[in-house]
Amino acid sequence: MIVAVGRTPNSQNIFDSSVEISIDSKGFVDVDQYCRTNIDNIWAIGDLVRGPMLAHKGSEEGVMVADRIIGKN
């Protein structure tokens, strides 16, 4: 999933209401240093998570997450 939301995270209604993803007070999805959310096998990257809202950051996070999913470290 690619979410390009500009300068304000648009995290409302992204996830099914039965999925209790942790979202901070500013609307960003809470993730660890590897972009994992509080729910197993759900990752979040780019403008939806903390840090600069820059395309290359989201791209690098996407590559890192894909590598971790397939077992590369």
Q: What is the pTM of this model?
A: 0.80
| pLDDT score of 4 | 65
The structural domains of the chain, ordered by start, are 1-73 (3.50.50.60)
Q: What angle do CA 13, 7, 63 make, to 5 degrees?
A: 80
* Separation CA 46–CA 4 (nearest Å): 8
| pLDDT score of 46 | 92
| pLDDT score of 33 | 95
73 residues of the chain, pLDDT tens digit each: 666 655 777 777 788 888 899 999 998 999 999 999 999 999 999 989 999 888 999 999 999 999 999 998 7
